[in-house]
Structure 1
Amino acid sequence: MRRFVEFINTGSEELAQELISPDAVFHVPGRPEPMRGPAGYLAVIGMMRSGFPDIQWTLEEMISENDKVAARFTMRGTHHGSFFGVPPTGKTIAVQAMNFYRLSGGQLVEERGQPDLLGLLMQIGAVPPPGA
């Protein structure tokens, strides 16, 4: 998982090929169809980086059992690009994400990620906070 965090923080195509199975499936919130393989995961990272070019993930905790890993991340970055149609605000974010992975042969073969998109949208001012 530490190498995976290096991959998501750098967007390295070389690490993508090493760590992600060509048959991998990534279930992305808001997308009706999963993304697939290293190119699919690089596209997810590209989408995040288009809105937050300096985004970095920190692995806060992890639990693993057999071929499955549950991980809690904090994503931090600055809103310098359009994200979900919201123009850049220059605001910083610190957002939690809970992801579940399945591995096989030393590679990721499946991910189900659940970032706190509501919290992110509140932090960039796209959604008012409760009671506002």
Structure 2
Amino acid sequence: MTSEANRLTMQKFVEFINTASQALADELISTDAIFHVPGSPEPMRGPAGYLAIIAMMREGFPDIQWTLEEMVAEGDKVAARFIMRGTHQGTFFGVPPTGKQIAVQAMNLYRLSDGKFVEERGQPDMLGLLQQIGAVPSH
């Protein structure tokens, strides 16, 4: 696929992560895709694995939305910088709901094949997120 085609696929991917649509998961995520999750010893796999990642974030932040700020596509790879925004309304990493708003950056590297995501390495700013909900001191 061309870099331009991967850019268009990435735009659809943003719709997917913001809606957690099963139909978009099936359309965009390869059944043998691997998602490396920070802090998890084993990667998540396939459409169900990615939906589980989104569900984990929505448990703590039911209104979470991702905004794609920057993207670079070259060959089969896409690098993307997102801002995640939401309200801490559920327990997250053991921290009870605080009602605090978050705006957290994430840097992700994706690999695509035949128009589907086959790999992701994501690096959300977990320290910043935990500071924003008061779980870790900010100084």
TM-score relative to the length of structure 1: 0.98
Q: Distance in 1 between matches of 2:101 and 2:11?
A: 24
What amino acid is the match of 2:83? T
Q: Which residue of the partner structure matches residue 119 of structure 2?
A: 110
Partner residue of 1:49 out of 47, 58, 76: 58
Q: Which residue of the partner structure matches residue 29 of structure 2?
A: 20
Q: Percent identity?
A: 79
What amino acid is the match of 2:66? W
What amino acid is the match of 1:129? S
Q: Distance in 1 between matches of 2:47 and 2:95?
A: 27
What amino acid is the match of 2:136? V
Q: CA deviation at 1:18?
A: 0.2
What amino acid is the match of 2:52? A
Q: Distance in 2 between matches of 1:22 and 1:68?
A: 18
Q: Distance in 1 between matches of 2:102 and 2:11?
A: 22
2:90 aligned with 1:81, yes or no?
yes
**Post-superposition CA distance 1:23-72 (Å, at most 9, x none):** 00000001000000000000000000000000000000000110000000
Structure showing the higher helix proportion among its residues:
2
**Post-superposition CA distance 1:90-128 (Å, at most 9, x none):** 000000000000000000000000000000000000000
TM-score relative to the length of structure 2: 0.93
Partner residue of 2:100 out of 69, 91, 101: 91
5+ residue gaps, structure 1, are: none
Measured on the aligned residues, the alpha-carbon RMSD in Å equals 0.3
Q: Which residue of the partner structure matches residue 133 of structure 2?
A: 124
What amino acid is the match of 2:50? Y
5+ residue gaps, structure 2, are: 1-9
Q: CA deviation at 1:21?
A: 0.1
Runs of 4+ with deviation above 4 angstroms: none
